[in-house]
Structure 1
């Protein structure tokens, strides 16, 4: 038994190691490993491959000296800590499936291309489908007339993004959802006034593993918001209602405070405005955002009624401006109305919808601007008619709520009014044939739009304050939110 040299690399092969091949002409080859054998079969030149002995000799790299250094080198072990991760988390990471690790490596490559400027759109084909959806997305969202602003960002609008021919429908959004969640991003939340849904949006994006930056002109408001967010996340986790795959502690670690609006928008991919319903205030806020925002960030308003063109049309970044109106509370009710202004880029609309889908919301896109959008028009129609019935003493406030909660609400939690009608007959054609006249007759009897003040308002106010006193509202809201989350989880289980 003797020490031999690899026929390709030149490295030593000790007895019992290596692979020996005898060709038809009787010539014997011995290779250090499969890598050396493959290089030989591909007729690679060992003098041009950096890890071979021939290459190292050619470039005067002292092999013996390096071997001596290797023998005497002391191994230094470094303490590696993962903030907020338990031993089980670390073991799960180590035992992660190869395909998941591969996705993470490609994720890191995308990040380098984005942040370090390496590679342009012409190089993106190297990363296959993982790039689709990870570069051009924005979010928006907010609540009904509450105060605050939210900004978020998730990719480029025009630079270094996918070609305009790429589309982002709901089906494709699901295919790259994991890649979106893992993308490094900053959701800036600019809040001029305290708003509960401001906190909800921070929690939603943190649950999807985005970094979130909060800003308020009064810094104490952010401090209070952070305390509230931490408490809410812990309570949700304790009751098994927390969204996302990471712990409450890890989610809270992704949310931070920005000292200035400029810092808040730094590297942001989306801006979500959440100030109260005042047109002049929104114009002022968006003018301020427009001066700071880059050409990549989406400027989104959370207005519930004001048409976006009234305060976004004069912006230099108006093609990046849009409305994202969620339902209160956004954390528990996934619906978001996406409303573009007349100048909004179509790609911004698609990316916005795709991103909301990726973080677990249910966006709907309005084809054109309409006062009150869709949700409020439907809601106000119900409130208007029930207000008249209460004012005319046809029914009590409590019984109206019973009709909705224990009647239509049960069906509407599973399907919309038109699907309900479709199922209540042999299709919509028969439904209209049977009920068109009666529907028209009842609608003709609705009467004028009420002013929502006077007798009806007094009756409703008195009964509601008696049923739920003002001091009990926080407790009742918590009751509502917990059951809404549980209902949402049940729907997912029923229709996975």
Structure 2
């Protein structure tokens, strides 16, 4: 990427869009950012200042980082010379239908049109497009300049060339793209996250643990294990020399019994308010900036340790 500078457009400069902006600029791309927010210049400047140490920790050249980022007056200006467009708009089908119609019309015909959609498959908003072959999902995990995963999810009309180009693009900017073979709402990562969150909420509702205690359980057990091996390899190793087969044949029955007993939190208004207040009691003494700084510092340490483990 650094040998052949290219141009990326970032549409939507919220938390995700600002993180993408820093990542793309850190990899030498010219980045054009569009968002109707009145404080766009201040938001971009603040994000670059905050994220520069994170990029430097990944070995990226941050000299002149801000010089590679340009503010666009509107979407058409942002995508006019783009090779890659990363959309980060609201999770709203009608909004995305209108926006992608504009992107197809205004962006160069070779430009790859990627959506950070968290749950909506691209086929839901590309049905009326003249050319949907270069539209697909590139769903990151927050913040994308740190968390490597990008879920690459082609739509019904996405071309194989576009899928390959998306994988190459995200690989070039240091991410780990995973192509998902079938569209499903929420994709893979958020479905797993929601399944775990549902049980976490249920356990707190039932008075088994507090939110802070549940987080402590995760960060001192499954979080460590899954960061290094993932659920399936973890189970394979949990079966000892007999591997996943031993695990499934000898412990699988009790696991299936537990599936039937997994909770369904009520989350009526009263329960929801009680949970919100419990989370606020656990973490409300720290500011958002303090919490994200601690999160990102720890995530960088984990990523560094995982990288060392591969050597």
Q: Please name the residue that 1:335 is paired with.
A: 149
* Structure with more of its chain in helix, by fraction: 2
Distance 1:326 1:455, change over 3 A: same
Counterpart check, 1:211 vs 2:30: yes
Pair 1:457 & 2:272 matched: yes
Q: Residue 388 of structure 1 contacts residue 456 of structure 1 at CA under 8 Å; is this kept in 2? A: no
User: Is 1:229 the counterpart of 2:43 in the alignment?
Assistant: no
The answer to whether the 8 A contact 2:26-2:60 is kept is yes
CA distance in 1, matches of 2:52, 2:153: 34
User: How do 1:150-161 residues align onto structure 2 when only pairs under 5 Å count?
Assistant: none
| Counterpart contact for 2:22–2:48, Cα < 8 Å | no
Match of 1:372 among 161, 182, 186: 186
1:396 equivalent to 2:210? Answer yes
How many angstroms does 1:454 deviate by? 3.3
Do structure 1's residue 185 and structure 2's residue 10 form an aligned pair? no
Quote the residue 1:47 is aligned against: none
Higher mean alpha-carbon deviation, 224-233 vs 308-317, is at 224-233
Provide the secondary structure at the position in 1 that maps to 2:64: helix
Partners of 1:384 and 1:226 lie apart in 2 by: 35
1: CA distance between counterparts of 2:115 and 2:90? 10
Is 1:478 matched with 2:293?
yes
TM-score scaled by length of structure 1: 0.59
Picking from 104, 107, 128, the partner of 1:293 is 107
* Alignment CA distance shift 1:433-1:467 (3 Å): same
Inter-partner Cα distance in structure 2 for 1:361 and 1:183? 18
Q: Is the 8 A contact 1:181 1:358 kept in 2?
A: no
**Contact 1:233–1:242 at 8 Å: present in 2 too?**
no
| CA contact 1:307–1:371 (8 Å) conserved in 2 | yes
1:416 aligns with 2:230: yes
CA offset digits 1:61-115 (Å, max 9, x no partner): xxxxxxxxxxxxxxxxxxxxxxxxxxxxxxxxxxxxxxxxxxxxxxxxxxxxxxx
- Equivalent residue of 2:84, what SS? strand
Ranges in structure 1 where 5+ consecutive residues have no aligned partner: 1-179
CA-CA distance at 1:233 after TM superposition: 4.1
Matched, 1:202 2:202: no
* Change over 3 Å in CA distance of 1:397–1:216 after alignment to 2: closer
TM-score (norm 2): 0.93
Work out the CA distance in 2 between the residues paired with 1:342 and 1:276. 22
Contact 2:8/2:82 (<8 A) preserved:
yes
Q: Distance in 1 between matches of 2:198 and 2:27?
A: 38
Cα displacement string for residues 436-486 of structure 1 (whole angstroms, at most 9, x for unaligned residues): 110110001124x43533344233211211122276122111111122122
> Which residue of structure 1 lines up, in the alignment, with residue 219 of structure 2?
405
1:333-372 alignment to 2 at 5 Å? 333-372=147-186
SS of structure 1 residue aligned to 2:39: helix
Output the aligned Cα RMSD: 1.8
Aligned residue pairs total: 309
SS in 1 for 2:73: coil
Larger Rg: 1
Asked if 1:256 is matched to 2:61, the reply is no
- Cα distance in structure 2, aligned partners of 1:233 and 1:440: 44
> How far does the alpha carbon of each residue in 1:309-345 deviate from its partner, in whole angstroms, 9 at most, with x for none?
1101221120110011100111111111111110100
Question: Partners in 2 of 1:187 and 1:197 — Cα distance?
Answer: 15
Are residue 431 (structure 1) and residue 247 (structure 2) matched? Answer: yes
The offset of 1:235, in angstroms, is 4.6
Gaps of 5+ in 2: none
